[in-house]
Amino acid sequence: MALMNILKFPDKRLYKVAKPVGTVDERIRTLVRDMAETMYDAPGVGLAATQVDVHERIVVIDVSEGRDNLLALINPEIVWASDERKLHEEGCLSVPGIYDNVERAERVRVRALDENGVSREIEAEGLLAVCIQHELDHLVGKVFVEYLSPLKQSRVKTKMKKLALEA
């Protein structure tokens, strides 16, 4: 397994739309393992392939306390979202140190392939639902700060550019 470089906002590659995975093969399983290792090392609870400059529809998520319940979603799509919406504080591995409230559906149902290519549907609520929506946004080239006011977006961009210069 290998740690991958996580792109930092406002890197233009974060805005690329991911393409569907054609076949779940050993290359995809290796990518899932590398993404999981990267996510755990960061540390985070979710990571989209877009964030590691791989523009395929793959996300890994683990919101468990023990960090031992990895969920790999390949070609995920939300097939249902509740009308109830709720504000949740979000952060992002591509926008380190920045946290803000984003309104999202309280519950979702997602259909995806797992790392073995088996189709499954998952119902999620709370943190898992937020994480799924957040990571699927990455696959269509959207970063959570885009939900914030223009003023906050500008401040985040300035802060991230400053951090990049200091690195």
Tokens coding 136: 């699927």
Distance (Å) of CA 34 to CA 21, 38, 141 = 16, 6, 21
Q: Which residues pair with 112 in a beta bridge?
A: 120
Tokens coding 103: 């309104």
Q: Is 138 annotated as a binding residue?
A: yes
Q: Which residues are catalytic?
A: 135
One-letter amino acid for residue 153 of the chain:
Q
d(CA 154, CA 145): 10
Q: Is 131 annotated as a binding residue?
A: no
Residues annotated as binding site for Fe cation?
Answer: 92, 134, 138
Residues annotated as binding site?
Answer: 92, 134, 138
